[in-house]
Structure 1
Amino acid sequence: MTDTPATAPDRRPGGRTARVRAQVLDAVRAELAERGHEGLTMEGVAARSGVHRTTVYRRWRDVGGLLADVIDAAGEIDWQPPDTGSLLGDLTALNEEIQDSLTVRPSFAVALMAASFHSEQAAQAQTRLWADRYAQCAVLVDRAADRGELPSRNTDAHALLVAATAPVYHQLVLLRADPDPRNSRRFAAAAVSAAVAGAFTGTDGPSGGPHGDVGQ
């Protein structure tokens, strides 16, 4: 699958433009869930969405544009990180959300991840989405520091969040294991224990500083 550079559609359009976008993106999600990224075509999306193929080509140009917009749309959802009153509770709740997202529509989630390896536009959109999510979730670490749950305010939020959530993806995506309701807390607890021991203190974040871009 190849892509051609395209300007991303305007975010949060209104009126008929919003309806067309919603129809097309719903069709993309359904096609990905049923056929995977290899089976995603402009014609298939147009047929499923009921939007004329000329409109689909004019607005999204190619499959890469469709994939990127589906990922961008996920970033437009008014999502807030958990606030349970403790770092362990917050990370457990975050893991539960991730586990749900990977088990409710696993074929779609896996297809979208796979697509990012075949489409530069999708890869860039996925990078933006993850950067935004990590930035949002940095508040979990800030709150924990304020409550005195962490030994230092210099805890690398990005590293801690990755340590807490990555095992969920490893179990469900790489190993394709059955969901275990105990894992969300187990993985969170391991990350919290490491953080309390100072494992993520003073390490370099993605931009070279203590927190990288996550705390910005």
Structure 2
Amino acid sequence: MNASGVQPSSRPGGRTARNRAAVRDATLAELAEHGYAGLTVEAVATRSGVHKTTVYRRWGGVDGLVVDALALADEDDWAPPDTGSLDGDLRELAREVVRTFAAAQTAFVAAAFQSERAAAALHAFYAERHRRAEEVVTRAVARGEVPAGTDAGAVVKAAVAPFFFRVVIAGELATTELADQSAAAVAHAARAGIYA
């Protein structure tokens, strides 16, 4: 796990792949430490050990660095938790969001407000994460915890949506207590058929 709290991507052989991985990890670390406003190609080049002319040539600038870092969702092996219950799975998903907000996620959201490319990459990142996370609801339906026809995407999004509002809009801290409360409320609503 790198300084941003994000698991580094797999690193296939070759100098190009090693450079990309080093730059991506440096970008995540810089975002976690300095935010989007403080992200510079020079700092990423220094941290990664990749010459800044190579970084400019390959990534073009700050937007390119952010977009490539967000492409992680298409390439990693992240899988949703499997605790054996919808309550437990949603709680772990929500707690994971708390942990990632402590790292670089707020910087990615800030980048999305300032860059169309970053916004598109952030949308694709979360669309992929949500798609994978829907499995927790599919399993809950199979176990009989929630009604057949429950909208898995709506359940997953509802479980994590409070963080985005309270952190990005209200300027509050994401906490474990908020994660647990949100997950419990959504699991209860799903069992009651609200999302069916």
TM-score of Structure 1 vs Structure 2, range by shorter chain: 0.7 to 0.9
Number of the residue aligned with 2:36: 37
Selected match of 1:189 from 161, 184, 189: 184
Does the CA-based 8 Å contact 2:108-2:122 persist in structure 1?
A: no
Number of the residue aligned with 1:204: none
Give the drift of 1:179.
4.9
Normalized against structure 2, the TM-score is what? 0.84
Q: Distance in 1 between matches of 2:159 and 2:21?
A: 33
Does the CA-based 8 Å contact 1:155-1:200 persist in structure 2?
A: yes
Give the drift of 1:12.
6.1
Number of the residue aligned with 1:138: 134
Number of the residue aligned with 2:114: 118
Is the aligned partner of 1:165 residue 2:164? no
Does the CA-based 8 Å contact 1:83-1:90 persist in structure 2?
A: yes
- Change in 2 beyond 3 A, CA 1:179/1:137: closer
Give the drift of 1:117.
1.7
What does 1:69-84 correspond to in 2, within 5 Å?
69-84=68-83
Q: Distance in 2 between matches of 1:185 and 1:177?
A: 16
Q: Distance in 1 between matches of 2:52 and 2:136?
A: 44
Give the drift of 1:176.
4.0
The amino acid across from 1:67 in the alignment is V
Deviations 1:76-115 (A, max 9, x none): 2211101111111110111111111222x2xx32111110
Give the drift of 1:53.
2.0
Does the CA-based 8 Å contact 2:45-2:52 persist in structure 1?
A: yes
Give the drift of 1:136.
0.6
In terms of Rg, which structure is larger? Answer: 1
Number of the residue aligned with 1:15: 14
The amino acid across from 2:95 in the alignment is E
Number of the residue aligned with 1:52: 51
Q: Distance in 1 between matches of 2:174 and 2:20?
A: 33
Percent of counterpart pairs with the same letter? 49
Number of the residue aligned with 1:101: 100
Describe the SS at the equivalent of 2:124.
Answer: helix
Deviates more, 1:179-188 or 1:113-122: 179-188
Does the CA-based 8 Å contact 1:88-1:185 persist in structure 2?
A: no
Q: Distance in 2 between matches of 1:14 and 1:69?
A: 18
- Change in 2 beyond 3 A, CA 1:168/1:37: closer
The amino acid across from 1:54 in the alignment is T
Describe the SS at the equivalent of 2:82.
Answer: coil
Describe the SS at the equivalent of 1:39.
Answer: coil
Does the CA-based 8 Å contact 2:11-2:21 persist in structure 1?
A: no
Number of the residue aligned with 2:60: 61
Q: Which has the higher helix share?
A: 2
- Change in 2 beyond 3 A, CA 1:56/1:186: same
RMSD: 2.1
Q: Distance in 2 between matches of 1:165 and 1:176?
A: 16
